[in-house]
Structure 1
Amino acid sequence: MLPPPSSALDRVLTLQLGVAWAGEALCEPVRLGWWKTDLIDEAGGGDLLSRLLPRTFAWAGLEAVREAARLVDSRLRRSLADPDRVISLFHFGFELDELLKHRLEALKRSESPPPLALPDLSLLSSPFDRSVFAAWLTASGTEDARVVPGGRELHGPPPSAVDRAASRLAAALVPFPSAYPLPFFRKPR
């Protein structure tokens, strides 16, 4: 398998970071409230990070909230039957997850602010609006997922293009429930 191009990894990271930001619960005002963090806003964890990491604090906050989202996603994924066959927004399998991690590290080292490195993240500089965020997630189309115990299962196998899979998984988050809905694909046997 050839590794995906940087543009595809950037699209996945944009969606992951956007969802991670929107899922914060301890910020004021509360966004979606899916994980108990406030790591980005200047009045919350962003202030501490800006003093500790003056050059990379924006990336550090996004990376930390992405990790919080990944942990919630992982816990929910493990509760599903045959979790090793599950692909989710924060889990594409070891190889792709490692490529995403390395790409995020490269973007962080570039010292470009997140909205310059990943232009679609400019959404994060505006006050949170559920309808605007829903439109952002469904820009590539809506997704009809089947609600099952533990999550929202998307129909069919995951697309081979990781950015397309991520777009479909992100779109399946809409409508927003009170808890993270774990949209997922099952890999064929």
Structure 2
Amino acid sequence: MTTPIPDEMLDAILAMQVTIAWAGEGRCSPRRLGWWDTDLIDDEGGGDLFARLLPQTHAWASLEAVREAARRTDAKARAKMADPDKLRTLYFLGFELDEQLGDRFAAHKRSVRPPAEVLPLPLPLTADFSKEKLVSALQGGDVPFTTVPNGRQLKGKRPDTADGLAKRLCAALVPLAEQYPLPFYKLEG
């Protein structure tokens, strides 16, 4: 039985996911973090193509595409770990929650309202990217982790709320790395 998550909580998680997905792009100019080889949002890159192909939903389509690129990078990194299905990452929060996030994203896309109007984005997704601004937006207190091969295993109790979990996983991206650092919690059992 699926426990429904409040829309505000789903929106908060989606905002974190798309912000990290946007920040992780590497083909844009100027280059952002370079964790995935995409340029799907900026008006001078893939965002222009989406605007011409999908005039009503181009902003959402760009975010959906870059979120998928981030999800795939996350999945590849998880696949290198023992028991990848027992990990919880920013882009793999568990089947039920991931399904609810997908449904909420689709509902926003159908509404045609701009992402900045409906998602509580921690910073604007504009061309003036700054690592310092991103780090400031991600800081959620000290998030202790152990660096393991292929990832950062978070220490301590996993947060009880879905948005709390996503926030801690985002905060564990700091310090920023050359490659996606795969912060994760390991499920017990």
TM-score by length of 2: 0.96
Q: What is the deviation of 1:121?
A: 5.5
Between stretches 50-59 and 126-135, larger displacement belongs to 126-135
Cα deviation, residue 2, structure 1: 2.6
Quote the residue 1:151 is aligned against.
Answer: 151
The answer (yes or no) to whether the contact 2:123–2:137 under 8 Å persists in 1 is: no
2:146 alignment partner, SS class: strand
Structure 2 CA distance, aligned partners of 1:109 and 1:145? 39
The letter for the 2-side match of 1:106 is A
Indicate conservation of the 8 Å contact 2:11/2:120, yes or no: no
**Cα gap change, 1:126 to 1:47, in 2 (>3 Å):** closer
2:163 aligned partner: 163
Q: Which amino acid aligns with 2:147?
A: V
Conservation of the 8 A alpha-carbon contact between 1:114 and 1:121: no
Task: Return the TM-score normalized by structure 1.
Answer: 0.96
1:65-92, CA deviations, whole angstroms, 9 ceiling, x for partnerless residues? 0000000000100111111110000001
Contact 1:27 1:41 in 2 (8 A): yes
For 1:100, the equivalent position in structure 2 comes to 101
Distance apart, 1:143 and its partner CA: 1.3
Equivalent residue pairs, number:
188
Counterpart contact for 2:123–2:134, Cα < 8 Å: no
Cα shift readout 1:130-151 (whole Å, capped 9, x = no counterpart): 010111111x323121111110
Quick check: 122-131 or 19-28, which moved more?
A: 122-131
> Residue 123 of structure 1 aligns to a residue in which SS?
coil
Instruction: Quote the residue 1:130 is aligned against.
Output: 131
Matched residue of 1:120: which SS?
coil
- Structure 2: give runs of 5+ residues left out of the alignment: none
Post-superposition shift, 1:122? 5.0
Q: What's the Cα RMSD here?
A: 1.2
State the partner residue of 1:8.
9
| Structure 1 unaligned residues grouped into runs of 5+ | none
Deviations 1:40-65 (A, max 9, x none): 00110000000000011011000000
Give the percent of matched residue pairs that are identical in Structure 1 and Structure 2: 49
Give the Cα–Cα distance (whole angstroms) in 2 for the partners of residues 147 and 19 of structure 1.
20
> Do the aligned partners of residues 188 and 156 (structure 1) sit closer, same or farther apart at CA in structure 2, a change above 3 Å counting?
farther
Tell me which stretches of 4 or more aligned residues in structure 1 moved more than 4 Å: none
Aligned-residue offset at 1:93: 1.1
Superposition pairs of residues 44-123 of structure 1, within 5 angstroms: 44-120=45-121, 122-123=123-124
Partner of 2:39: 38
Deviations 1:142-172 (A, max 9, x none): 3121111110000134222110000000000
C-alpha contact 1:156 1:185 (8 A) present in aligned 2: no
* Distance (Å, rounded) in 2 between the aligned partners of 1:137 and 1:122: 10
